[in-house]
Structure 1
């Protein structure tokens, strides 16, 4: 690992092993918000192709696609993308071409990622492709697999997937046990590749990025520029401090976050936020994010369980709500959500919107105004209203979500910046130029830290803000008595 140590030193980073965390990444210099800490291209990667959505295997574009004429599985948008992947795809193509049409449907993105990892290793061993300090199979071997933590059912699934890889490749002396273990490594070390607006596009393996540990109060954020993983500081990181990112959605109670981390990554977080578990601030946060509201509409208090377990009382005004009442509301919401999901999946959007509005009404009676469950419903409504181009109502719901985003995320969180961006776009579309300038300014202030200033997405965002400002300035210069004739 001497080569890796030297490569990290060039980024002003060092790797250390901590007893409670294993390998960890530390800063050798001060990093300021917005600075790139490290950037890595993937060892292997694949798009999340499905029957309804295909993307180029190299750049993830969804335009001008053509299937590989031999294997009929992989798509490319042009000859340059095809040529750039040919050394790997040549072997993969040969293997996939042997499969009949029925068996090709079992070649999921996860199977393809493992096929490409096996081929990647073979080509490095044969020195057909270079093995660099940050891109060699020894780094994959060093990843933790958590095989001893996985239940028997999951182990059997990984073994079956490994056997399918063996069936496809048909290589002599292939190590099925190692491939099984690698599937486990991918499940807890692979990263979802997203576009600038955090929409998932594919999956990649970044062995050096995987060294960075999790925190529910991270000082850095992971974003993607094409397929490259870029880690940027979102807080001041002093020399000698550990670099941390978040593995999960952090807008949730400590119990919810710990459950997600334990199930997916097999560890218990001990970050400063999680160390507060059971204390008043933690109980307050949990009751607001996932708990119930006061029966008095004018009260902003949150509910705590009473000592007799008969129900909950408001910590502000003391009003009591019985368990039976809350359970009845919860059951109504659950039933309607099932109906809404069915309508959404069958593309009956108008019906789904109507049902989600009823869900929102009952959730407003049940949950705290800053509840993440209410937020999720409003997010779903926002998405569907934009699909049916009901821009005015979409903006109304977007504005309802922004204060919740501001309360659950730190100021330099990319999801907060993207919500400002959505709000600004809707305001500008509807002619609310002053509001658009305010929202887009907040979006730029946040996203230039998380995404940098040189990406096409940020350049386009800054251009939108400049246009909105110019339009506002023009309107101010118009004579107040001027009347527009339609």
Structure 2
């Protein structure tokens, strides 16, 4: 363990947990582990990430293992390190098998080889022994349990573990199933499974004060909010922007408990959580949206929700239909049908649009799926308009802390889409967005906008993804590139650089940034023009 500002505590209700061992600031690392207990790349990601360092690369630049032809590496050093760690044992097994085993089987197999004590005892390691396995709960779902038993048998045979240790092997699989984390890329794309017993002690809340962050192979527990010494550390086991019913159902099904956090207990809306949250101060970000105004609007919308409870209750059936339409959009073979299902879902919840309740679930999910539809079909300028709207009307309420990694990743994606728009000739840009007045597009300098947004991301990335991480490096590289473009063309680049270094005291840069962000808010206002008129 590279860094640890936590200690184990015993909560009378929640059981074992983690608490801060010192006062922590928002964005400060609580625990950093460069070599986690176990991390395995999942089957769908084997061709796009290095199986040792977990860095994403083009398939052509990753070298496949010449033995098993399953795992890939970005450098000989990574291949050598993984061979020493585990692949010398796994390679011959993968060669013999007709297909790639499921990720839980590979993870269990590796855990048995690396951590189970050999000899007559053949016991679990001490760090796993103390974790909850939920065996009786898992047995209640017969289909799920039978599948887990088959997986445990496979790992037992592959690892040549004695057959009389089947119960121990099955218990370890249960521990991993209910305590492992989803390994992700910096943008939250899932790429594998990470089992780290220390971090598994953190308890759940739908209003977390911390979050898990991956940087390649490394994993960190980061403070989302300021945390006092002795205060318990909470992460969210599920997507806490879902409705209360969805969150509780998922937590019950996967982790076997009924969530009684304040958000669940009192049915808090995103607007209620937002107005009660503590956000780090950023004078630069305040030019994009004002935090005091945000809290005021959250209070207004929360009051409106209380007044219109009956109307919201009346659309419950429409919400159920909406979830069905979202599911259909993910399974249809036709991209046009996919888009039409999502448009219908948006139309069915027109009440939310009328009252500007865009952050209430499931509306953000509809907008996210529409955005992804435009991305998948390379309508990138339409995706830009929609993502600007999502950020300003959903994200800042659902993730009120500016240092939340999803917030920062969204901003970075916006910067990259602005960069794409800047690469288009004016006629091509207008052709891609014919429903936006030409004077609005002509009045937006997309290079300046890219520069200004990257300055925001550069300020926040160390607090969301960690100092010195690869994501921070990506942001710095993009920033240097746009700075070079600005240098070559002259104009306002120097003023924006001064604003970056001196803040709002750099008057010219502040005015330019303010004008840029006003323009982006204007573009975001055309989101429903995009939804209604854009065709694939």
Which TM class, normalised by the smaller chain length?
0.7 to 0.9
Superposed, which structure 2 residues align to 1:156-175 within 5 Å?
A: 156-173=146-163, 175=165
1:235 and 2:221 equivalent?
no
State the alpha-carbon separation in 2 of the partners of residues 166 and 318 from structure 1.
54
2:22 to 26, 29, 51: 29
> Relative to structure 1, is the Cα distance of residues 437 and 67 closer, same or farther in structure 2, using a 3 angstrom cutoff?
closer
With over 3 angstroms needed to count, the CA separation of the structure-2 counterparts of 1:477 and 1:113, relative to structure 1, is: closer
2:407 to 407, 416, 419: 416
Partner of 2:379: 390
Q: Which residue of 1 aligns with 2:348?
A: 362
Shift of 1:437: 4.5
Does the Cα contact within 8 Å between 1:253 and 1:285 map onto a contact in 2?
Answer: no
Of 130, 154, 176 in structure 1, the residue corresponding to residue 166 of structure 2 is: 176
CA contact (8 A) 1:71 1:97 kept: yes
Give yes or no for contact 2:272–2:302 (8 Å, CA) kept in 1.
no
Residue of structure 2 in register with 1:84 after alignment: 81
The alignment partner of 1:175 has SS state of helix
Q: Deviations over 1:118-161 (max 9, x none)?
A: 11125x658xxxxxxxxx92101221111122224122221111
**Equivalent of 1:199 in 189, 203, 219:** 189
1:118 to 112, 119, 130: 112
| Distance change >3 Å, CA 396–CA 364, structure 1 → 2 | farther
Q: 2:225 is paired with a residue of what secondary structure?
A: coil
Q: Report how far residue 226 of structure 1 moved.
A: 0.8
Matches of 2:195 and 2:229 in 1, distance apart?
28
Is residue 127 of structure 2 the alignment partner of residue 145 of structure 1?
no
Q: Which moved more, 1:147-156 or 1:242-251?
A: 147-156
Deviations 1:396-425 (A, max 9, x none): 211221121111112232112222222232
- What pairs up with 1:42-441 in 2 under 5 angstroms? 42-50=36-44, 53=47, 55-60=49-54, 61-62=56-57, 63=59, 64-87=61-84, 88-99=86-97, 101=98, 104-105=99-100, 107-122=101-116, 125=118, 137-150=125-138, 151-153=140-142, 154-173=144-163, 175-277=165-267, 281=268, 316=307, 327=317, 333=322, 336-337=325-326, 339-343=328-332, 346=333, 348-364=334-350, 368-402=357-391, 403-411=393-401, 412-431=403-422, 432-441=446-455
Deviation at 1:183, TM superposition (A): 1.6
Please state if 1:20 is matched with 2:13.
Answer: yes
What displacement does 1:393 show? 1.0
| Cα distance in 2 for residues equivalent to 1:73 and 1:52 | 7
Structure 1: segments with no counterpart, 5+ residues? 1-6, 127-135, 287-299, 305-313, 479-486
- Judge conservation of contact 2:207–2:263 (CA < 8 Å) in 1: yes
Return 5+ residue gaps in structure 2 as ranges: 274-299, 423-445, 495-536
- Which structure features the higher share of helix residues? 2
Task: Give the direction of change, closer, same or farther, for the CA distance of 1:173–1:236 in structure 2 (3 Å limit).
Answer: same
TM-score by length of 1: 0.76
- In the TM superposition, what whole-angstrom CA distance separates every residue of 1:152-184 from its partner, at most 9, and x where no partner exists? 412222111111223323343451111111221
CA distance in 1 between counterparts of 2:189 and 2:270 reads 32
Name the structure 1 match of 2:471: 457
- Distance in 2 (alpha carbons) for counterparts of 1:331 and 1:235: 34
Deviation at 1:194, TM superposition (A): 0.8
- CA distance in 2 between counterparts of 1:176 and 1:232 reads 37
Task: Please give the secondary structure, in 1, of the residue aligned with 2:208.
Answer: coil
Question: What is the alpha-carbon root mean square deviation over aligned residues?
Answer: 3.5
Q: Per-residue CA shift, 1:96-135, capped at 9, x if unaligned? A: 4443x2xx34x1111100110011125x658xxxxxxxxx
CA distance in 1, matches of 2:345, 2:51: 40
